[in-house]
Amino acid sequence: MKKVLILEDEVNIRSFVVINLKRAGYDVIEAGTGMEALDKLQKNPDIGVAILDVMLPDIDGFEVCRRIRASSMPIGVIMLTARSQEMDKVTGLMTGADDYVTKPFSPAELTARIDALFRRIGGPDKKIESELLMQGDFVMNTRNHTLKKDGERIRLTQVEYAIMKLFMQNPGKAISREDILAHVWGREYNGDLKIVDVNIRRLRIKIEENPQNPTFITTVWGFGYKWGQ
């Protein structure tokens, strides 16, 4: 059974999410504080997706996300943000979240996002492939989802990895933002194209010598992005 963690201090919202996720067939672990969530993530390494509220009594959801990314827990992260917190979406994505859901949300919307994220990161029964993609200074191992540049490991979120894989499978080809969104987030994803730009910006910070003047991921104005020359 796919395991999900829900971090939310408001008991009513948390119970509502738990009931609906269980109904959708998920195994659900609950946490009411940031530290409790980190503790439960350590104890349940089979959790595939964590849903993190931002406003919490101890450390906030962004800090929880940062600590998840600083460890090497291979999990998807969805932030719960309030409608008034437009900037939170960008902050959340910059701290390594894969997606966000705005409150108030419907159970169907949340489970659709979780399902999409599980599909992207691959379940435990995903077929094992062994393949190395090598281009210039970059080596991607599609079996263990790692990327190295000049032999040094570059830590990527699952979404960043999926974008890099798409690029490295299509060197020299201009790819539209719409195609990146559809490929990485799924055709049914109805979020904003800006999520693509935010992830590209984050990738450039990780892989470019000078992110302001990128040479690996270049912008194709009015269209999208291109990997390599």
Q: Which residues bind Ca ion (CB under 5 A)?
A: 9, 53, 55
The least CB distance from residue 30 to Ca ion, in Å, is 13
Phi, psi of 177 (to 5 degrees): -60, -35
CB-nearer residue toward Ca ion: 55 or 133: 55
What the block records as the tokens of 178 is: 């719409």
Residue whose CB is less far from Ca ion, 31 or 121: 31
Is the CB of 9 or the CB of 197 nearer to Ca ion?
9
Q: Which is nearer to Ca ion, 56 or 147 (CB)?
A: 56
Residues whose CB falls within 8 Å of the CB of residue 209, separated by 6 or more in sequence, listed in order? 215
Q: In angstroms, what is the minimal distance from the CB of 18 to Ca ion?
A: 15
Q: Among residues 53 and 98, whose Cβ is nearest to Ca ion?
A: 53
**Which is nearest to 106 in space by CA: 21, 183, 40?**
21
Q: Nearest distance from residue 9's CB to Ca ion, in Å?
A: 5
Give the integer Cα–Cα distance in Å for 115 and 118. Answer: 5
Give the span between the Cα atoms of 121 and 171, in whole angstroms. Answer: 22
Contact 2, 13 (CB under 8 A): no
* Burial readout 159-189 (b: 16 or more C-beta within 10 A, e: otherwise): bbbbbbbbbbeeeeeebebebbbebbbbeeb
Minimum Å gap between C-beta 66 and Ca ion is 17
Q: Which residue is nearest to Ca ion (CB)?
A: 55
- Nearest approach, Cβ of residue 19 and Ca ion (Å): 18
9/208 with CB nearer Ca ion: 9
**CB burial class (10 A; 0-12, 13-18, 19+) of residue 83?**
exposed
CB of 57 to Ca ion, least distance (A): 8
